[in-house]
C-alpha cells in the first residue's frame, strides 16, 4: 500500500488514552474496599473505553458464581448473566453487535432505562495467573480500531490484577478477623476451665485439656458443693470448634447451677438432660460423667460417656465401667439409675478420658484403643495423677506418628493416696 494512503495515527489520542489508563491504575491502587473498586472500574471503563455504561461482576471460583458487593449498588444495566457465564467458561472476550436479536440477551433488563443497547461487549478479567476473577460488561462502545483493541487488553490486565489484589486483601482481612475472634474465644474458653487441680486430703487429683482446634467441646471441672463434697465433671460435646465450645460453656453452667440446687446425682443428670434437650438442635448431644467425692467414696454417674477406667489396687487390674445411660440432650424424661459408688482404698485410681485418646489412629488406620490405656494406667499406677495423664498423652502421640490430632483430648485422674 502506498504510504500516502495509510491511515494517519492520532498520536494525541494515544497519549490521552495511555494517560487515562495510568490514572485508572493509580485510582485502583488506592481504592480502599471492594465495593469502591467495583464502582471505580465501572467509571474507568466509561472513560477509557468511551462506552455509555459499564457493569462489573466478580467471580467466586469456589462457588462457581458471579456476584457483586451489595454496597456497590445495582448497575443501571443489569448484568447479562448467561453471556457472562459463557465468558467465564471460555475465558474469551464476547462481542455482540445486535444484542436484541441474540437469544442469550435479556431485553427486559433494559426496560428501566431510556437507552437501547446497540452493542454489548463482555471482557474477562484475569489475574496474574490467567484465572478469571470477574467479568466486565460494557454497553454501546464506539467502533474499535487496532489501537482500541490493544487499549482494551491493557485496561483489562490492569483491572484484573487490581481485582485480584483487593480480593486477596479482603480475604486476608477476613482471615485476620477470624483468627482474632478465635483467639478471643479460646481465651474465654480456657478461662472457664479450672486454673488448678483440687486439693483434697488423702487424694491426688489432676485434670488436663487440649483442644484439636482453637476451641473445643471437651471440658473438665471441679468445685466444692455446700455439703462439702467435691464435684467433678468431665464432658464431651459432639464435634469440636466454636459450636462445640458454646455447648461446653452451656453444659458447664448447667452442671454448676443444678448441683447447687440438689446433691442428688440422679436428679442433677435428669435436670441437665431435660434442659439440654430443650436447647440443643437434633444433631447435637453431650456425653458426661459427673461425680461427687465425699470422704473416701466417689459417687458417679455416666451419661453416654465411657468407658470409665478404674484401677483396683487390691486386684492390681484396671476394669472398665460402661455408661449408665444415653448421652444428654437426645431424649426428654429419660429414666436415670442411682449413682454408682466407688469406695476407694489406697492405690485405687479412677481415670476419665474423652474419646480423642483411644480413637486417635496411626498411619495404618489403627486406633490407639482402650487396651493400651488400661496397660498404661497399670504401669504408671504409682506415679502422680498429673504424670499418669502425661504418660497417656505421650503414648498416644508416639503411636499416631505423623497423623495429626483431629479430636479434643481431656483427662481427669483421681488417685487415692
100 Cβ contact partners less than 8 Å away, ≥ 6 residues apart = 107, 116, 117
Give the residue from 225, 226, 235, 220 showing the smallest Cα distance to 323.
235
pLDDT digit string, tens, across residues 160-171: 777 777 777 777
Q: For the chain, how many helices (H) and strands (E)?
A: 8, 15
**Which long-range contacts link 48-52 to residues 24+ away (Cβ below 8 Å)?**
48/17, 48/20, 48/21, 48/24, 48/151, 48/155, 49/138, 49/141, 49/148, 49/151, 49/152, 49/155, 50/141, 50/142, 51/121, 51/138, 51/139, 51/140, 51/141, 51/142, 52/115, 52/139, 52/140, 52/141
Task: Confirm if 249 and 193 have CB atoms less than 8 A apart.
Answer: no
Domain boundaries, the chain: 9-175, 193-416
Q: Is the pLDDT of residue 121 over 80?
A: yes
Give the residue from 351, 318, 338, 390 showing the smallest Cα distance to 234.
351
How far is it, in rounded angstroms, from Cα 54 to Cα 333?
63
How far is it, in rounded angstroms, from Cα 203 to Cα 126?
68
More confident site: 412 or 42: 412
| Predicted local confidence at residue 76, as pLDDT | 64
Cis before 307? omega within 30:
yes
Cell of residue 39, nine digits? 464502582
Question: What count of other Cβ atoms lies within 10 Å of the Cβ of residue 114?
Answer: 5
N- to C-terminal Cα separation, the chain: 107
Question: What count of other Cβ atoms lies within 10 Å of the Cβ of residue 147?
Answer: 13
Range with lowest mean pLDDT among 121-130, 149-158, 272-281: 149-158
Q: In the CATH scheme, what is the code of domain 193-416?
A: 3.60.40.10
| Predicted local confidence at residue 111, as pLDDT | 47
pLDDT digit string, tens, across residues 197-227: 999 999 999 999 988 876 677 889 999 999 9
| Predicted local confidence at residue 207, as pLDDT | 96
Cell of residue 302, nine digits? 455416666
| Predicted local confidence at residue 51, as pLDDT | 84
How far is it, in rounded angstroms, from Cα 101 to Cα 87?
19
pLDDT digit string, tens, across residues 328-378: 999 998 899 999 999 999 999 999 999 999 999 999 999 999 999 999 999
- Sign of the CA dihedral 232, 236, 242, 248? negative
Q: Is the pLDDT of residue 8 over 80?
A: no
More confident site: 417 or 143: 417
| Predicted local confidence at residue 24, as pLDDT | 65
At the top level of CATH, the class of 9-175 is alpha beta
Tell me the pTM.
0.63
**DSSP helix, strand, coil percent of the chain (3-state; round to 5):** 40, 25, 35
Cα 207 to Cα 105, 203, 266, distances in angstroms: 67, 13, 24
| Predicted local confidence at residue 223, as pLDDT | 94
What is the average pLDDT value for the chain, to the nearest integer? 84
Amino acid at each position: 500500500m502506498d504510504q500516502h494512503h495509510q491511515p494517519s495515527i492520532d498520536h494525541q489520542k494515544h497519549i490521552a488514552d495511555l494517560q487515562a489508563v495510568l490514572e485508572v491504575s493509580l485510582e485502583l491502587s488506592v481504592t480502599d474496599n471492594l465495593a469502591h473498586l467495583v464502582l471505580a472500574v465501572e467509571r474507568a471503563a466509561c472513560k477509557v473505553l468511551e462506552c455509555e455504561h459499564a457493569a462489573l461482576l466478580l467471580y467466586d471460583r469456589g462457588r462457581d458464581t458471579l456476584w457483586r458487593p451489595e454496597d456497590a449498588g445495582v448497575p443501571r444495566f443489569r448484568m447479562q448473566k448467561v453471556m457472562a457465564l459463557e465468558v467465564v467458561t471460555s475465558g474469551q472476550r464476547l462481542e455482540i453487535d445486535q444484542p436484541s436479536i441474540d437469544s442469550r440477551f435479556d431485553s427486559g433488563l433494559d426496560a428501566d432505562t431510556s437507552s437501547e443497547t446497540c452493542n454489548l461487549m463482555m471482557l474477562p478479567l484475569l489475574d496474574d495467573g490467567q484465572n478469571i476473577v470477574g467479568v466486565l460488561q460494557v454497553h454501546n462502545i464506539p467502533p474499535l480500531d487496532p489501537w482500541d483493541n490493544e487499549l482494551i487488553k491493557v485496561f483489562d490486565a490492569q483491572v484484573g490484577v487490581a481485582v485480584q489484589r483487593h480480593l486477596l486483601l479482603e480475604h486476608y482481612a477476613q482471615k485476620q478477623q477470624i483468627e482474632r475472634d478465635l483467639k478471643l474465644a479460646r481465651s474465654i474458653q480456657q478461662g472457664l476451665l479450672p486454673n488448678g487441680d483440687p486439693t483434697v486430703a488423702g487424694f491426688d487429683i489432676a485434670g488436663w485439656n487440649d483442644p484439636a482446634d482453637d476451641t473445643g467441646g471437651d471440658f473438665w471441672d471441679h468445685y466444692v458443693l455446700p455439703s462439702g463434697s467435691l464435684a467433678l465433671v468431665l464432658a464431651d460435646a459432639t464435634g469440636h470448634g466454636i459450636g462445640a465450645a458454646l455447648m461446653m460453656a452451656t453444659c458447664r453452667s448447667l452442671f454448676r447451677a443444678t448441683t447447687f440446687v440438689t446433691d442428688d446425682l440422679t436428679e442433677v443428670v435428669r435436670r441437665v438432660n431435660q434442659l439440654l434437650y430443650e436447647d440443643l438442635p437434633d444433631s447435637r448431644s453431650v456425653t458426661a460423667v459427673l461425680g461427687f467425692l465425699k470422704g473416701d467414696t466417689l459417687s458417679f454417674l455416666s451419661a453416654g460417656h465411657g468407658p470409665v477406667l478404674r484401677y483396683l489396687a487390691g486386684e492390681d487390674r484396671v476394669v472398665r465401667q460402661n455408661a449408665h445411660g444415653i448421652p444428654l440432650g437426645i431424649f426428654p424424661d429419660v429414666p436415670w439409675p442411682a449413682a454408682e459408688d466407688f469406695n476407694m482404698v489406697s492405690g485405687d485410681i479412677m481415670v476419665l478420658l474423652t474419646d480423642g485418646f483411644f480413637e486417635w489412629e496411626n498411619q495404618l488406620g489403627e486406633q490407639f484403643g482402650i487396651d493400651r490405656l488400661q496397660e498404661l494406667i497399670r504401669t504408671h499406677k504409682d506415679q502422680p495423677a498429673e504424670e499418669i495423664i502425661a504418660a497417656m498423652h505421650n503414648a498416644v502421640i508416639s503411636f499416631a506418628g505423623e497423623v495429626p490430632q483431629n479430636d479434643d483430648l481431656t483427662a481427669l485422674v483421681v488417685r487415692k493416696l
